[in-house]
């Protein structure tokens, strides 16, 4: 879509860039997923980059919305928007590529937030072309420092080339559009050269996937400041000669932009300085065989570890294998090669820790595995490493500070470090259930029942892209989606619609609480006809009243009156029904009100903050006061609410 060019890098430019980058990565995601070859064949670099930027977009939009609510039409400052972008990317970073991109954005934000100058008339601060050049340079340097063992021919090389090109082309002059275009062209040229720097890329006939994603992000930066969308580079490269038509995008791409593909004056070239993008007719530049699989990208299952345990809990899971072709993977670290056995697990977590503790953590994790990337600062870090002992990696984080949002992916024996030709594609299941759950305990419960789970942290709801990824990971022809939160209904609907365009039959059951999801999952029968199964699960969820007991964070008006910060709130079917001062007493009142309308089964899900005796007390209350009513208790972990209650 046409964009009004931004003259300076201000808050609106940050917002525009993030939105365009998300749009561009959305279009290129499958292509980028399909060309992963170095060094881990998990085939999800494009998806990881998309989810990382999606988190950055959400953070920036939240800043704009919050500022509008508080301050009117003035809008946030450049520092506000840049810091929100960096923070959103940091907490939402996925995979090695997303973690490095988060550090690139953080490096840029540090310069943009501190180097903006005030416009005449007291308008919001902004950065000019010089500020953008400095931001690109700092981004490249900080990302390289975050990787334990940098290797050339990766996204780090592409980032360095972008900064070098911006410096060389613009000197001390140049507006943001000129700087962005120079950085983009430098990145494209570096991307085209990556097969010559990494033999595994040359053998597979592809460019680096992470670098390809960065080129897309820089292309969005060009569009932000010029209003013009650069045509993207081809996905595949062989022996240094660019070619198109071999990758998964060849069916829809009629032309691709590649640096230096046509000499000046060639009839296919634009020839003008305002349109410096050469055009290439699709087709192979040589006779070498394609190394890019055309089938769907495989996704590794996300397995969550309990934050409270020093040992990560890992469940065995099958991998979705790519079509016959080159192995796929992504990383900027050169500790492992694509054709050599490597660590079995990818471990990622956010960490609250001091700088000195993080330095010790780097040393310990470097000795445990490879592909180590630690990004962040100011007390909050995103840690990524590939290891054989996932528990030891989590323990190291516990010694350094407080790890949370722990994500462990089991690459699969004989899967990641072997080529696609050495393993048959896994057959799709007929039906699967995908559920959003609020805590690690429920994630384990749902997983044991056969569901694919997406963990939703308090205040950090999953985005639609994350739900789509989970649907793909379930690898089934039919999927039942349980959002388990009224506020996630629209997000889940968008994810279901996207999955349907990929040929997956998806039914969305509008569960509003995890206890309704438990009821639905209890009657799930994969052998039934799909429609019958969905009707049965919907009926079970609808017949389950739900409640939660939580603690008020601030003063507010409620259906039960005015509450103060620290009050205990009992919500029934989403509305505050009880305001109290004691968790156990409030929970008992809520339970009595729910059972007054009848019930056969009570489900209690305890959060980490629940009193130790509350389960025993409520079970006794049900046993003594309500005949023929059973009670079941689960541990939910860090789920936000002190207690969840379901009555069927």
Instruction: Give the mean pLDDT per block of 10 residues along the chain (648 residues).
Output: 66 92 88 75 77 91 82 77 92 88 93 61 63 91 90 91 86 78 93 88 85 93 89 41 33 30 31 30 31 33 32 29 34 43 80 91 89 89 89 89 82 41 62 90 85 81 82 91 90 87 91 94 93 93 94 88 92 92 94 91 91 92 90 86 93
| Cβ-proximal residues to 367 (8 Å cutoff; 6+ apart), any chain | none
Cα angle for residues 638, 641, 644 (degrees, 5° grid): 105
List the beta bridge partners of residue 579.
Answer: 569
CA distance 313 to 309: 8
CA distance 189 to 149: 23
Q: How far apart are the first and last CA of the chain?
A: 50
Cα angle for residues 269, 272, 273 (degrees, 5° grid): 125
Element (H, E) at 430: strand 429-437
CA distance 530 to 198: 48
pLDDT at 117: 43
Distance of CA 111 to the CA centre of its chain: 25
Rg (C-alpha) for the chain, rounded Å, is 26
Beta strands 568-572 and 601-607 are unpaired
Torsion 198-199-200-206 (CA) sign: positive
Q: What three-state secondary structure class fits 119? A: coil
CA distance 80 to 74: 13
Closest CA to 205 of 292, 287, 295, 281: 292
pLDDT at 215: 94
């Amino acid at each position: 879509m046409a964009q009004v060019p931004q003259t300076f890098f201000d808050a609106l430019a940050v917002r525009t860039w993030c939105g365009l980058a998300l749009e561009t990565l959305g279009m290129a995601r499958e292509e980028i997923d399909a060309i992963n070859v170095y060094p881990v064949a998990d085939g999800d670099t494009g998806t990881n980059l998309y989810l990382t930027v999606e988190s950055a977009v959400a953070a920036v939009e939240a800043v704009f919305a919050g500022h509008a609510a508080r301050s009117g039409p003035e809008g946030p400052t450049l520092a506000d928007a840049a810091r929100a972008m960096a923070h959103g990317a940091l907490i939402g970073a996925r995979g090695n590529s997303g973690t490095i991109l988060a550090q690139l954005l953080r490096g840029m934000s540090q310069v943009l937030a501190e180097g903006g100058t005030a416009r005449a008339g007291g308008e919001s601060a902004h950065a000019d072309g010089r500020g953008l050049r400095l931001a690109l340079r700092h981004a490249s340097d900080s990302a390289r420092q975050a990787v334990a063992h940098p290797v050339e021919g990766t996204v780090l090389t592409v980032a360095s080339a972008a900064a070098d090109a911006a410096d060389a082309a613009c000197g001390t002059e140049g507006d943001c559009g000129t700087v962005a275009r120079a950085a983009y062209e430098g990145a494209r040229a570096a991307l085209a050269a990556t097969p010559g720097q990494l033999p595994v890329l040359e053998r597979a006939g592809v460019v680096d996937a992470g670098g390809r994603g960065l080129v897309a992000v820089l292309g969005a930066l060009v569009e932000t400041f010029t209003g013009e969308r650069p045509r993207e580079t081809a996905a595949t490269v062989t022996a240094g000669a660019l070619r198109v038509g071999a990758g998964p995008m060849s069916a829809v791409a009629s032309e691709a932009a590649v640096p230096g593909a046509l000499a000046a004056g060639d009839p296919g070239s634009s020839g003008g300085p305002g349109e410096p993008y050469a055009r290439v007719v699709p087709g192979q530049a040589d006779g070498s065989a394609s190394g890019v699989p055309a089938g769907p990208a495989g996704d590794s299952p996300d397995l969550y570890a309990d934050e409270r345990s020093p040992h990560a809990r890992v469940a065995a899971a099958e991998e979705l294998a790519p079509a016959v072709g080159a192995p796929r993977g992504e990383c900027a670290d050169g500790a492992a090669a694509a054709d050599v056995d490597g660590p079995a697990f990818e471990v990622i977590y956010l960490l609250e820790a001091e700088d000195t503790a993080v330095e010790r953590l780097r040393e310990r994790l470097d000795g445990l595995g490879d592909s180590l990337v630690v990004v962040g600062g100011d007390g909050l870090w995103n840690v990524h490493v590939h290891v054989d002992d996932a528990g030891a990696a989590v323990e190291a984080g516990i010694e350094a500070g407080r790890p949370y949002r722990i994500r462990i992916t089991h690459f699969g024996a004989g899967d990641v470090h072997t080529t696609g030709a050495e393993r048959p594609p896994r057959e799709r299941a007929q039906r699967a259930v995908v559920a959003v759950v609020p805590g690690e305990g429920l994630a384990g419960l749902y997983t044991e029942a056969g569901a694919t789970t997406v963990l939703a942290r308090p205040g950090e709801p999953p985005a639609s892209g994350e739900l789509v990824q989970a649907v793909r990971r379930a690898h089934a022809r039919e999927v039942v989606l349980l959002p388990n939160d009224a506020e996630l209904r629209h997000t889940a609907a968008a994810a279901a619609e996207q999955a349907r365009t990929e040929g997956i039959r998806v039914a969305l059951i509008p569960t509003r609480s995890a206890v309704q999801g438990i009821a639905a999952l209890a009657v799930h029968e994969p052998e039934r006809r799909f429609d019958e199964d969905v009707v049965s699960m919907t009926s079970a969820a609808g017949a389950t009243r739900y409640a939660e007991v939580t603690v008020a964070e601030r003063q507010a008006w409620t259906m039960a009156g005015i509450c103060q910060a620290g009050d205990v709130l009992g919500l029934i079917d989403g509305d505050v029904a009880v305001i109290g001062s004691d968790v156990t007493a409030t929970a008992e009142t809520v339970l009595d009100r729910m059972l007054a309308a009848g019930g056969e089964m009570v489900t209690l899900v305890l959060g980490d903050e629940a009193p130790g005796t509350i389960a025993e007390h409520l079970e006794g209350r049900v046993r003594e006061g309500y005949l023929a009513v059973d009670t079941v208790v689960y541990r939910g972990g860090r789920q936000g609410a002190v207690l969840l209650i379901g009555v069927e």
